Each structure stands twice: as C-alpha cells, then as structure tokens.
Structure 1
Amino acid sequence: MYKVKVDSKGFNGVRAGIRFQMGEATFEDPKLVAVFKRLGYEVSESAPKILAKEKAPATKKAPAKKAPAKKAAAKKEE
C-alpha cells in the first residue's frame, strides 16, 4: 500500500482516480507511484491497514461438554 501527500494540507479532491482528504491519500496500484511523483507529490510505501473485517477473530473457548444424563445410566443397569 502506498501513501501520497500533497503540499496543500487542506486539499480534498480526486487525482488520478484516488480520493484525497486533508492532503493525503492511500492506494495500492504501483503504476500510480510514477504518476503522483510526476505531479510533484510525496509518495511513500506504508504498511497495509487492517480493517475491522480483516482482523483475526477473537479466540473463544468451546462450551464445556455435558456429562451423560444419569437416567441413561440407570436404564442400562436394569
């Protein structure tokens, strides 16, 4: 994932199909790096953000197994 910054911190708009908010944007297409550098923007490679949907699910303990009912054991003895 790449992060691009423009000189104007208050810039909100679209450039090369990428939406900027407060002068910053993120994108994944490596072809756009050259485009933004040619426009004079600062481009850096950043670690991908993990969205809530992509986070690993919290580990949960399985419910305890129930012991067999005493009635079934009593019927076998008869």
Structure 2
Amino acid sequence: MGKKRKCRMTEEERTIHDKAVKIRKMTDRQIIEYIDDIYKTGYRAGMKTSNISPDKIIDEIKKIKGIGPITLSKIKQVLEGVK
C-alpha cells in the first residue's frame, strides 16, 4: 500500500494525523503526563455520572453469604478511601 498524501486526506484524517505526530514528538515524561491527564479527566467524569453511593454498595455486599462484619468494615474503609 502506497504512502497516503496529505492532499488526499480528509479533514478528519488530517486532524488525527496531526495529533499522532504531536504525541510522537513528546518526551517520555510528557507522554506520561498526557495519559495521566486523560485518565483523571475520564475518572472524574465517570464519578460525576455515577449515582451509586458507597452505602448502596455496602448494603448489597451485606447480602453475600460469608461476608462478616470484619470483612465488611475493611471494604467500607476501601470505599471511603476512593471518595
């Protein structure tokens, strides 16, 4: 397959290509910061849209056979740390 010329790229393809070139030119540190920023942005957006509270999760976990009060308290600690 031959090399695609810029003049034959659609606007969307050109935008994607330019972004890929920009990422390839980044240093390792810049790439890591870029990826971390994307992850954090997505995580925050997901948390905003989530309507599940830790209390609802704990109530459902209580129903599982074999989960005692000690394990439940450990799970609560983990969930409270995520907030």
Instruction: Classify the TM-score, shorter chain.
Output: under 0.3
> TM (normalized to structure 2)?
0.18
Q: Which has the higher contact order (CA 8 A, sep 6+)?
A: 1
Q: Which of the two has greater helix per residue?
A: 2
Q: Which of the two has greater strand per residue?
A: 1
Larger radius of gyration: 1
